[in-house]
Amino acid sequence: MPFYYPNWINDFWRIMGIIHFSDRDHFCIAAEKRFDEEAIRAFCTREGLAFYDTACEIRRLRDNASDAFLEVVTPTDIPALLKRIPLCDTVVTTGQKAAEVISGTFGCDIPPMGGCVQVEFLSRPVRFWRMPSTSRAYPLSLDKKADAYRRLFPGK
82: domain CATH number is 3.40.470.10
Determine the Cα–Cα distance for residues 62 and 65; give it in Å rounded to an integer.
8
Per residue of the chain (156 residues), give pLDDT as tens: 788 999 999 999 999 999 999 999 999 999 999 999 999 999 999 999 999 999 999 888 888 767 778 888 999 999 999 999 999 999 999 988 899 999 999 999 999 999 999 999 989 999 999 999 999 888 899 999 999 999 999 887
Q: Are residues 32 and 103 in the same domain?
A: no
Determine the Cα–Cα distance for residues 108 and 34; give it in Å rounded to an integer.
38
Q: What is the pTM of this model?
A: 0.91
Q: Which of 118, 120, 116, 119 is CA-nearest to residue 129?
A: 116
Q: Are residues 95 and 36 in the same domain?
A: no
34: containing domain: 1-49
Q: Are residues 88 and 142 in the same domain?
A: yes
**Mapping DSSP to helix (H, G, I), strand (E, B) and coil, where does residue 40 land?**
helix
Number of separate domains in the chain: 2
In this structure, how many other beta carbons lie within 10 angstroms of the beta carbon of residue 13? 25
Q: Are residues 100 and 149 in the same domain?
A: yes
Q: Are residues 85 and 137 in the same domain?
A: yes
